[in-house]
Structure 1
Amino acid sequence: MKDNAPQLANIGKFQNKSVTADGQTRAKVSLTRPETLWFNTGTLCNIECVNCYIASSPTNDALVYITADEVRNYLDQIEARNWPVHEIGFTGGEPFMNPQMIDMTRAALERGYKVLILTNAMAPMMRRKMREGLLGLQKEFNHMLTLRISIDHFRPALHDEERGDGSFEKTLAGMEWLRDHGFNMAIAGRTVWGESDAESRAGYARFFARHGFDIDPQNPAQTVLFPEMDETVEVPEITTACWGILDKSPNDVMCASARMVVKRKGAEKPAVLACTLLPYEPEFEMGHTLAEAEADVHLNHPHCAKFCVLGGASCSG
């Protein structure tokens, strides 16, 4: 069952997998170019943010820690299915809470994939074992490994509004350690405070320059600015006719090029989801294998419309 909030905002919409509320054929997306496979490392996090789309926290273990052997199994499946994947992404929760994070990263890097890790760069990453593991990976695979750091806003007070008092300074310390050891970094910010894209990027440019971070504020793959995911806002349903009206191809939507693997609490084995943004929606769980995950995705959720089709979102670099 879908959450009450989007149902109330979009009464009668997003109910039928194949047909919109006004009887038109709902748009669907085929996996035409599988380029990125995401792994959710678990929903546990060292902090609890105000607007976390996945409700990560120190106590939420709805998605449990995935293991390195489970990751290797899916890497084998990529090769068996001949998917043209070039990037493996790790997200959470906080990935460095997972004790096998370094082993999972190494498994992907040794297969020749680029790796993107989404992290808050706080205490879990700064544990001795993780720092030593990262330094080993950096020495062998530096050009293949990027850490994307969550900096909700370049002003400490606004960042801390989302993540808690003192969060900015702790993340900054982690970024400075990464900088000093030559790691490739990107950042993920948010567009919650009403600034224009140009204003936000100018602010991040000043922040990067002040701290000597080699991050391009104008490059949307290095400075990613995410819109707020508000499920209470009414959005239009996407029909097959919308592609021509919007002058957009279904191949541009995230589920044409990516899938995410999660392991639910109590589950015997991981599952593959159509989308990184909908971890708790049963309709978007596609099965346990990549073969099953090759099915089409019907755009039957407000996020599909607002965040992906209309907002042009992408989680990947």
Structure 2
Amino acid sequence: MAHTTLFEQKFRDPFVTAKGETRGSVDWRGLKTLWLNTGTLCNIKCRNCYIKSSPSNDDLVYLSISDVEPYLDEIDALGEGSKEIGITGGEPFMCPDILKIMEAVLSRGHTLLLLTNAMRPMMRPRIQQGLLDLKTRFGDRITLRVSMDAHDEATHDAERGAGAYAIAMEGLGWLAEYGFDVAIAGRQALTENEAEARAGYGAMIARLGLAIDPADTRQLVLFPEMIEGDDPPEITTACWGILNVDPADMMCASQRMVVKRKGAGKATVTACTLLAYDTEFELGETLAEATRDPVQLNHAWCASFCVLGGGSCSA
């Protein structure tokens, strides 16, 4: 008779760990950031994309302005004023309604954090003109966070394809030339410490003339690696005290993400930006439904990225 290993038993039960301990969970503490995932289609296919974006993956389809507006209405109804709205993908600048969505967010008084690879989709004339128009009208409330897999060309291109680094440098140069508020989201190589990574990205930033302080963790965000199939410990209720970590600091305490699955009639809300495919973390069709119950930390990335890695996608 075959027996399952402890590894195979982990992250199965939403409420109990493989060792029989009470699984950690996170209560809702109020909205800080609403993420809009504009779809998993992307102009490139990265070797280690956590959401598996590519030129052919449309498992998450493009959001339309009509998908987004009901969630903005819900935020208005809260009566809590401006929020951070994050836009991610895929590559958001491939979404046909992206400029309409950005304008809708900004015209309601929210701040906007848009994640992009700063490559060809962003550099199309229609998008460039739209961005310049939005910057003129709402510039102090727009941040474009450009994702990088490395600060050196060889490592970056090994992940994203030959020539990707040079194209991204062109896009970053254009953003610098026109004075956009830019941040960089980079990966820290397993072979370097944080100081080395910040120094490497700092040299790249200086070459481009970007107004970014590489020591500022909001302007240069270094994400911990998320390795599919890794084996972090499960988070129990006791871990908060042992690790001296506050559950209120977890993404799912104050952030949610809107997605639209291929073939679905409506958009839905997930617990965070990382777990778009796991239906266990799909919480409802409205923000009200999606913030009603605690989120059970029943995924390896809850442990490795958020609790142990201290990662957060918001600003």
Shorter-chain TM-score range: over 0.9
Is 1:240 aligned to residue 237 of structure 2? yes
Whole-angstrom CA distance in 2 between matches of 1:9 and 1:226: 28
Alignment of 1:111-122 (within 5 A): 111-122=108-119
User: Please, what is the CA RMSD of the aligned residues?
Assistant: 1.4
Inter-partner Cα distance in structure 2 for 1:99 and 1:170 = 22
Q: CA deviation at 1:207?
A: 1.1
Whether contact under 8 Å (2:39, 2:63) holds in the other structure is yes
Query: Quick check: 1:226 aligned with 2:209?
Result: no
Matched residue, 1:29: 26
Instruction: Verify the 8 A CA contact 1:28 1:297 in the aligned structure 2.
Output: yes
Which sits farther off after the overlay, 76-85 or 204-213? 76-85
Matches within 5 A, 1:1-317: 10-82=7-79, 86-294=83-291, 295-317=293-315
Deviation at 1:204, TM superposition (A): 1.1
Once the two structures are TM-superposed, the CA of residue 235 in structure 1 deviates from its matched residue by 1.1
TM-score (norm: length of structure 2):
0.96
Q: Residue by residue, what CA displacement relative to the aligned partner does 1:199-255 show, whole Å, maximum 9, x if unpaired?
A: 000111111112211111111111111121113221111111111111111101111
Secondary structure of the structure 2 residue equivalent to 1:20:
coil
Paired residue type of 1:227: P
CA contact (8 A) 1:36 1:85 kept: no
Cα displacement string for residues 48-93 of structure 1 (whole angstroms, at most 9, x for unaligned residues): 0000001100000000000112111100011224466620000000
Q: Helix, strand or coil: the match of 1:10?
A: helix
> What secondary structure, in the 3-state scheme, does the structure 2 residue paired with 1:64 have?
coil
Question: Following the alignment from structure 1 to structure 2, what is the Cα–Cα distance between the partners of residues 175 and 308?
Answer: 28
Counterpart-to-counterpart distance in 1, 2:305 and 2:190: 17
Structure 1 Cα separation of the partners of residues 67 and 134 of structure 2 = 20
Measured in 2, the distance between the counterparts of 1:246 and 1:186 equals 29
Q: Deviations over 1:121-178 (max 9, x none)?
A: 1110111110110000000111100101112111111110111000011111111111
AA aligned opposite 2:178:
H
What is the one-letter code of the residue matched to 1:99?
A: P
Measured in 1, the distance between the counterparts of 2:128 and 2:177 equals 12
Secondary structure of the structure 2 residue equivalent to 1:38? strand
For 2:62 and 2:294, how far apart are their aligned partners in 1? 28
Deviation of the 1:193 alpha carbon: 4.0
d(CA) in 1 for partners of 2:265 and 2:215? 44
Of stretches 191-200 and 97-106 in structure 1, the one that deviates more from structure 2 is 191-200
Runs of 5+ consecutive residues of structure 2 not aligned to the other structure: none
Structure 2 CA distance for partners of 1:9 and 1:107, relative to 1, 3 Å: farther
Structure 2: how far apart are the matches of 1:22 and 1:70? Answer: 42
Deviation (angstroms), 1:8: 7.8
How far off is 1:21 after superposition?
1.2
- 1:4 aligned partner: none
Contact 2:82 2:109 in 1 (8 A): no
CA distance in 2, matches of 1:199, 1:167: 22
Instruction: Show CA shifts across 1:294-317 (max 9, x none).
Output: 121000000011110011110011
Aligned mates of 2:81, 2:289 — CA distance in 1: 17
Q: Distance in 2 between matches of 1:289 and 1:33?
A: 15
Counterpart CA distance in 2 for 1:9 and 1:71 is 42
Contact kept in structure 1, 2:44 and 2:55, CA below 8 Å: yes
Q: Comparing 208-217 with 8-17, which one deviates more in the overlay?
A: 8-17
1:261 Cα deviation after fit? 0.2
Residue 82 of structure 2 contacts residue 111 of structure 2 at CA under 8 Å; is this kept in 1?
no
8 Å CA contact retained: 1:34, 1:83: no
The code of the aligned residue for 1:236 comes to P
Identify unmatched segments of 5+ residues in structure 1.
1-6
